[in-house]
Amino acid sequence: MASVLLLALLVMFLTSFIKAACEIISCYFLTPRRIKKTMENQGVFGPKPRFLTGNILDMATLVSKHTSRDMDSISHDIVGRLLPHFLTWSQDYGKRFIYWNGIEPRMCLTETDLIKELLSKYSTKAGKSWLQQQGSKHFIGRGLLMANGDDWHHQRHIVAPAFTGDKLKGYAGYMVDCTRQMLQSLHDAVELGQTELEIGEYMSRLTAHIISRTEFDCSYDKGQQIFHLLTVLQRLCAQSSRHLCFPGSRFFPTKYNREIKSLKTEVERLLMEIIQSRKDCAEIGRGSSYGNDLLGMLLNEMRRKKSGNGFVISLRNMMQLIMDECKTFFFAGHETTALLLTWTVMLLATNPKWQEKVREEVNQLNMVINESLRLYPPASVLPRMAFEDFKLGDLHIPKGLSIWIPVLAIHHSEELWGKDVNEFNPNRFASKSFSPGRFIPFAAGPRNCVGQSFAMMEAKIILAMLITRFKFAISENYRHAPVIVLTVKPKYGVQIRLTPLSS
């Protein structure tokens, strides 16, 4: 009997081992070779990949070389600094080329008509890749930003009502109140003789305060704790994701992995306190709803699923999904808007004539914000992986190919925007008509950023209030050094000199 049981266990082990080995061989060797051959048959070539690491080391070397020094002047010609591999490979292989992010083949796509077709027509056939999801697993998990297919449709359906027009109108008062407090702190700092301020820190705290109040109804202090931890997690996950090309690397007890798991646990502990507090308030008050902000909508959906007949997701998994969604919107609702505001202040501080134009006619602020998003988009790239074969223009896109849209390079393309492409010129947005394929700071199509209206309204309110209270000029201590840590950031912040305007 024992020998039969032992034999059965051995067979199960061998079956599992063979299955795992076949999956590894397919994932790491057969599928990439198939994709490479398919694309080369269509005339799409690229740099030769190394075993397992692909072109990661080449990219890291080029980026490190070009970002090791600050820029000599405040120039907006930053593609060569932040995406030097794109310039090198597009010169060598043309507009379409393939490179390898570890074992993941990525095709660069800059043709605006094909980008528009991809983002509008194939939103269900292309989405986030396994490497992207694993790289952000402990950072923002499987929230809306990383979801695919039916999961994405379901999650989008839940969160979209939190960003409708009526909801946005209700948030405006909170945004004004929070901004007024920030402006007062700036005024107090100037009154105390502070000659220069790092505006990025103020914008980061302000957007943290706003998203905490409008979507999660939590305290400023707790929101700040979560944002700080997520910022550290962002940096660590970006560093750790470079090693995902090695089989099983995410399970190694490395320093990065230990720190990441520890920070993730702390973030989720804080989120559970916020969630439990909301649940307690609803249950003690015997209310029929957890509220109509983002957190309330997520909890109401959990209640609906729990009480429904077709409850197929466990309570534990649902709670993890809620926390992942909270992390996604805590981060996206804070980080990207804070960066948009910081870069816009830098641009206005170095272009005082546009400060005056906006003071005279605040409607021009929309053009200024769009120009800031063009020059310094929060996300420098927009990747999509094909989940099945499909036709894109004249190309056959094979299942498993990631399509890499270099947003920063497209926004700085002289062919698309003219010879003044690297100059700050908001007038280029005087006309409201521009192709979705050439200006994509919030992506486009069905998978566009669900919170873009929230972010734009927030940015307009904050900048309008700031520019009517202060004049500002760039400090001589400002060092222009854009870097990418998932998002495009000023390496040393943005130092400005403020002068209060007379009432």
Report the binding-site residues: 449
Instruction: Please list, in sequence order, all residues whose beta carbon lies within 8 angstroms of the beta carbon of residue 132, skipping any fewer than 6 positions away.
Output: 146, 383, 385
Instruction: Please list, in sequence order, all residues whose beta carbon lies within 8 angstroms of the beta carbon of residue 265, skipping any fewer than 6 positions away.
Output: none
Class of residue 4 by CB neighbours under 10 A (exposed 0-12, middle 13-18, buried 19+): exposed
3-state secondary structure string, 338-389? Answer: HHHHHHHHHHHHCCHHHHHHHHHCHHHHHHHHHHHHHHCCCCCCEEEEECCC
What would the two tokens of residue 47 be? 């740099």
Q: Tell me the three state secondary structure of residue 433.
A: coil
Instruction: Please list, in sequence order, all residues whose beta carbon lies within 8 angstroms of the beta carbon of residue 157, skipping any fewer than 6 positions away.
Output: none
Contact 450, 157 (CB under 8 A): no
What would the two tokens of residue 167 be? 């909801």
Residue at token pair 């505006």: 199
Task: Report how far residue 488's alpha carbon sits from residue 271's, in angstroms, rounded to the nearest whole number.
Answer: 27
Task: Report how far residue 292's alpha carbon sits from residue 299's, in angstroms, rounded to the nearest whole number.
Answer: 10
- Regarding beta strands 104-108 and 97-101, do their DSSP bridges make them parallel or antiparallel, or are they unpaired? antiparallel
Task: Report how far residue 121's alpha carbon sits from residue 407's, in angstroms, rounded to the nearest whole number.
Answer: 19
Binding residues for heme are 449
What would the two tokens of residue 273 be? 């306190």
Q: Which helix (H) or strand (E) element contains residue 37?
A: helix 31-40
Contact 399, 102 (CB under 8 A): no
Nearest to 178 by CA among 207, 198, 150: 207
What would the two tokens of residue 439 be? 């200006």
Q: Tell me the three state secondary structure of residue 100.
A: strand
